[in-house]
Amino acid sequence: MELIAPSGAPRGAVLVIHSWWGLTASFSKYGSMVADAGFLVGLTDLFEGRTAKTEAEARALRARPRRTPMYKTLGEDLASLAAATGSATTRLGVVGFSMGGHWAVWLSQRPQYNLRATVLYCSARAGDFSNCRSSIIAHFAEHDPWVRVSARKRMENAIRKSQCDYSAYDYPGTKHWFAEAARPSEFDESAARLALDRDVTHLASNLDP
């Protein structure tokens, strides 16, 4: 995990989980912007330094045998991120993009990770949110074959049955990778900037002491 420190005392700590392209420059840039807003940022690397440029490469990376299961890597990264703050009271948040958003939901559903803020980009995963204590926001593209309307509805219905705060934002005219600069055919700078501003507001309201 790569750490990006803010210029002063952190307002909270945030783990960023990449999409199936791997830890590309898109996520390093995003992490730097979140750090510029005052948060200690950890960039997880689920593919151990490897990245993909095509869907076939991404599928192969995701299916590649691993020394450590992804969930263990994420748990270890959250523990390391918390330790790096130097304070037992620093609040933790998570941001996940596409595949990473599925993991962000999984982590948020488990109280042992003690997450207070969750951000999802173009991902939907249902399940049991009864133990979720994180406030969740989700960003959705208008044209997205990777996120079914039914999957989004199942997730949102499951969240509403819990005690989790939840807000969703839709971005007209955008596609699945709209927030990833490394995917220029779909990247939408203005939508990505608006989403980032919403992320910072959300993280600050839930992590800043």
Helices then strands, counting H and E runs in the chain, come out as 6, 7
pLDDT in tens, 64-85: 988 899 999 999 999 999 999 9
Helix axes 189-207, 25-36, angle to 10 degrees: 50
**pLDDT score at 88:** 79
User: By the 8 A CB rule, do 155 and 132 touch?
Assistant: no
Angle at 13 (CA atoms; ends 11, 15), nearest 5 degrees: 150
Residue 16 has which token pair? 């960023």
Residue 163 in this model has a pLDDT that exceeds 90: no
pLDDT at 209 over 90: no
The two tokens of residue 177 are: 């990778």
- For 17, which DSSP code? E
Kindly state the tokens that stand for 110: 């488990």
Q: CA–CA separation, 197 vs 177, rounded Å?
A: 17
Q: What is the pLDDT of residue 12?
A: 96
Question: 13-17 and 2-4: which strand pairing?
Answer: unpaired
pLDDT at 43 over 90: yes
pTM: 0.96
Position 89 scores a pLDDT of: 81
Sign of the C-alpha dihedral computed for residues 20, 23, 24 and 30 taken in this order? positive
pLDDT value of residue 66: 86
Give the model confidence (pLDDT) of 82-132 as tens digits: 999 988 788 999 999 999 999 999 999 999 999 999 999 999 999 999 999
- pLDDT of the residue at 86: 86
| Average pLDDT, integer, range 136-144 | 98
* Chain centre to alpha carbon of residue 30: 11
Right CATH number for 2-207 from 1.20.120.350, 3.40.91.10, 3.40.50.1820, 1.10.150.20? 3.40.50.1820
pLDDT of residue 2: 97
Using CA atoms, how far residue 36 sits from 73, 75, 153, 189, 200, in Å, is 25, 25, 34, 18, 10
Write down the pLDDT at residue 69. Answer: 94
Return the percentage of the chain with pLDDT > 70, whole number: 100
Section 19-41 average pLDDT: 97
Asked if residue 192 has pLDDT above 90, the reply is yes
Residue ranges per domain, the chain?
2-207
Percent of the chain with pLDDT over 90: 92
